Structure 1
């Protein structure tokens, strides 16, 4: 503290930089492994095959929107922070729900059409 009782700006900037750095590091911890646990078990157990397919279409569309927003945010300064605050949780939830829909569809021998052939081969 200075004689006037104010915190020097340099210390404030260092504190802010430390907080931002920790936030960015912690967002890396919530990466792709979290997707599988982002959906509640049995969430889609009462859906019919047709309902699973329709919900899959909706979620796949939202996944693509979020991917575009994340890619755009990465181009700017502070993009990783924006991604962590605005998009990461929803993206992980959407991915987890897509996995749960595919697992439920497989268990019921449903033919889910919401994925293209190339996307199914990648998964």
Structure 2
């Protein structure tokens, strides 16, 4: 009988300890270094890209990484949020960081520079800003006489 009680207590302890162990194991994933993130990306993907393609890709990767960070932060606020954030978004985030690393390397290797933004269009000033604009004269509409018979 005492063996059954001990077995039951051990199984309860295991059931309670399992989620804690799982959360601790995921906590280690959150602190991945850059060398670990590059393991999830193809190092040769951006070798044949020109500067314009690299610029577009870098902007897309930066916006995707920011989006994933926002989703993870939002998930952290909910019930079991850290677990959901790790399970749902961490793999994508790590892959995007790895791709960003290799895109940045290709950018620097190709000696690319950011494209300057286009100059702002100047507002068109009216030719006669001093003079008030004349109102257009509308022609008076004439009505036709009523020719209907009562």
Cα RMSD after superposing both structures: 2.4
Task: Measure how far apart 1:40 and its partner are.
Answer: 1.8
> Higher RCO, 1 or 2 (CA under 8 Å, sep at least 6)?
1
Name the TM-score, length of structure 1 as normaliser: 0.72
- Give the C-alpha shift of residue 16 in structure 1: 4.5
Pair 1:32-2:22 in alignment = no
Deviation of residue 58 (structure 1)?
1.3
Counterpart Cα distance in 1 of 2:52 and 2:21: 44
1:51 match: 53
How do 1:54-73 residues align onto structure 2 when only pairs under 5 Å count? Answer: 54-73=56-75
Identify the match of residue 76 of structure 2 among 74, 79, 101: 74
Number of the residue aligned with 2:136: none
Question: CA 1:21–1:50 in structure 2 vs 1: closer, same or farther (change >3 Å)?
Answer: same
The answer to whether the 8 Å contact 1:105/1:112 transfers is no
Gaps of 5+ in 1: 1-7, 114-123
* Bigger helix share: 1
Q: Specify the alignment match of 1:101 in structure 2.
A: 103
Q: TM-score, normalised by structure 2?
A: 0.60
State whether residues 63 and 95 of structure 1, in contact with CA within 8 Å, keep that contact through their aligned partners in structure 2. Answer: yes
Structure 2, unmatched stretches of 5+, are: 1-7, 116-150
Q: Which is higher, the Rg of structure 1 or of structure 2?
A: 2
Equivalent of 1:86, from 85, 88, 96? 88
